Structure 1
Amino acid sequence: MKHLIKQFLLVAVSIALIGASINLFLAPHHIAAGGVTGIGILVEQALGVPLALTVLILNVVMLILAFVFLGRAVFVRSFLGSLLLPLSLAIIPETMLAQDRLLSVIFGSMIFAIGVAILYRIEASSGGTTIPPLILKKYFNLNTSLGLFLVDAIIVIFNIFVFGVEEFLFAILSLILVAIIMNYLETGLKKRKAVMIMSDDKIEEIKAGLLKEMGRGVTVFSVSGGFTGSEKTMLMVVLETREYQSVLKMINSYDKQSFVIAYTVSEVHGLGFSYHTIE
């Protein structure tokens, strides 16, 4: 029960963020950057139909298509978000918070991306134009990302005919910003440093320092030099990014000639990261 309540609250918060990004930043400046909300902004301008009503009608149609062609699981994941989004758009008044269009696009895209990222994180959906690409993928094996891109591209192009070239360019900018921010939220917040260390005669001291001073687990590899063929010991440790400089100083304090390779990893699960640090 607690899990269901938490899921509902997260969906509600994410949909509220999406609604705020549209009604407070993008729609007042006539930026239709894809999705059912983009269609709604275009229809509102061209035909005078309220944005929330257009989104509701489209989402109901997409829910029916999802149930018929994609099955119960996709329908259930999309149901709540599909109904809450038009409600959010109806409740939040369309108000131009910032007169500067570029500022509005930046903040609107940022808030929109955060909302969608939360939905992705809990495997929920706001429905809408995410449904047709899934149908095309299932029945015609069309790549889902390509399908989403084509749908959004068509919607963005219509900015030219309904609003003008400037709005079209801002819509493209919004799509790019959303993609960048979502990618960062998906991987950037969880990035860690994986460090590989080799030392001729101080490897045990470095290992002890990593274990005791840094409180990190260490993996030990037996390796051999490609040129000399000599056997060596290599350590691997995964760190929080903020810990890297401290570890580097500690390694150099034992052996300034040590060989260190550091690279960024997008996600780590396990002791010290998903769970608690080694005591």
Structure 2
Amino acid sequence: MRKVGWDLSVIALGAFAFALGINLFVIPQGLGEGGVVGVTIILYYLLQWPPGWTSLILNTALLAIGYRLLPRKTVGYTLAAVAFHSLFLHLTEGWPPVAEDLMINALFGGALIGLGIGLVIRADGTTAGTVILAKLMHKFWGWKISYALLLCDAVVAASSVFIIGAEKLLFTVIMLVAATKIMDLVTTENRTPQSVPKIS
């Protein structure tokens, strides 16, 4: 029970970092993102739909797909991660941006997003969305989760070029690469091959 409490605390911290990355660095500068979050941002730019609720709805639908393919523990932790992330997106919506420079926002936004997702994955959860797809790619094809996620996110981010423009798409790519590197550090640091949780 203590282990579950610790894992949920790590997941909550990761979800908070992820939400801060989106609301402090991505949305204020009109940047894009990958995966489900990228879709919610596009819908926010086009229709002003609140990211918290949109993320919750889309992630719940994707979680239903991964329900039979992922361990029950991962599914339970993912439900918690999705709930925390949607809550923190709502609570931090409208917080003032930290900087105006696009490069600073891309790098620090990517770092926070990568840290957040990495913490959730390290606690054996996912943030649903394309993280579920990345975990399935890891399970069936042996792909590294961080790079499978980068591929999935890049596809979604590229589709936002018609909304955010080519220049901000390039900064979005920089942000995704930064997120991937930080996520890789968080999910592999101080782990031996035997201690990395397997997906079965």
TM range (shorter): 0.7 to 0.9
Match of 2:26 in 1: 26
With over 3 angstroms needed to count, the CA separation of the structure-2 counterparts of 1:115 and 1:75, relative to structure 1, is: same
Moved more, 124-133 or 53-62: 124-133
Cα displacement string for residues 181-239 of structure 1 (whole angstroms, at most 9, x for unaligned residues): 2333445x54xxxxxxxxxxxxxxxxxxxxxxxxxxxxxxxxxxxxxxxxxxxxxxxxx
- Whether the 8 Å contact between 1:43 and 1:49 is mirrored in structure 2 is yes
With over 3 angstroms needed to count, the CA separation of the structure-2 counterparts of 1:267 and 1:5, relative to structure 1, is: closer
Match of 2:198 in 1: none
Cα displacement string for residues 26-54 of structure 1 (whole angstroms, at most 9, x for unaligned residues): 11112222122111111111222111121
Match of 1:167 in 2: 168
Higher strand share: 1
Higher helix share: 2
Q: What percent identity do the matched residue pairs reach?
A: 25
Find the aligned partners of 2:187 and 2:132 in 1 and give their Cα distance. 21
Cα displacement string for residues 143-178 of structure 1 (whole angstroms, at most 9, x for unaligned residues): 655753442122111221111001110111011111
Is the partner of 1:118 in helix, strand or coil?
helix
| Shift in Å, 1:15 | 0.6
Give the number of the structure whose alpha-carbon radius of gyration is greater.
Answer: 1
Moved more, 87-96 or 145-154: 145-154
Aligned CA RMSD, in angstroms, stands at 2.6
1:60 aligns with 2:60: yes
- Whether the 8 Å contact between 1:67 and 1:74 is mirrored in structure 2 is no
- Whether the 8 Å contact between 2:32 and 2:164 is mirrored in structure 1 is no
Find the aligned partners of 2:66 and 2:92 in 1 and give their Cα distance. 27
Is the partner of 2:104 in helix, strand or coil?
helix
Match of 2:157 in 1: 156
Is the partner of 2:160 in helix, strand or coil?
helix
Find the aligned partners of 2:58 and 2:143 in 1 and give their Cα distance. 19
Match of 2:51 in 1: 51
- Whether the 8 Å contact between 1:31 and 1:159 is mirrored in structure 2 is no
1:82 aligns with 2:82: yes
Q: Which amino acid in the other structure matches residue 80 of structure 1?
A: A
Find the aligned partners of 2:26 and 2:117 in 1 and give their Cα distance. 15
Find the aligned partners of 1:151 and 1:177 in 2 and give their Cα distance. 15
Find the aligned partners of 1:24 and 1:120 in 2 and give their Cα distance. 22
- Whether the 8 Å contact between 1:59 and 1:83 is mirrored in structure 2 is no
- Whether the 8 Å contact between 2:110 and 2:178 is mirrored in structure 1 is yes
Q: Which amino acid in the other structure matches residue 87 of structure 1?
A: L
| Shift in Å, 1:55 | 0.5
Match of 2:127 in 1: 126
Q: Which amino acid in the other structure matches residue 121 of structure 2?
A: Y
Is the partner of 1:151 in helix, strand or coil?
helix
Match of 2:37 in 1: 37
Match of 1:109 in 2: 110
- TM value normalised by structure 1: 0.61
With over 3 angstroms needed to count, the CA separation of the structure-2 counterparts of 1:148 and 1:267, relative to structure 1, is: closer
Moved more, 49-58 or 145-154: 145-154
Find the aligned partners of 1:150 and 1:17 in 2 and give their Cα distance. 22
- Whether the 8 Å contact between 2:119 and 2:186 is mirrored in structure 1 is no
With over 3 angstroms needed to count, the CA separation of the structure-2 counterparts of 1:40 and 1:13, relative to structure 1, is: same
Structure 2 residue ranges without an equivalent (≥5): 195-200
- TM value normalised by structure 2: 0.82
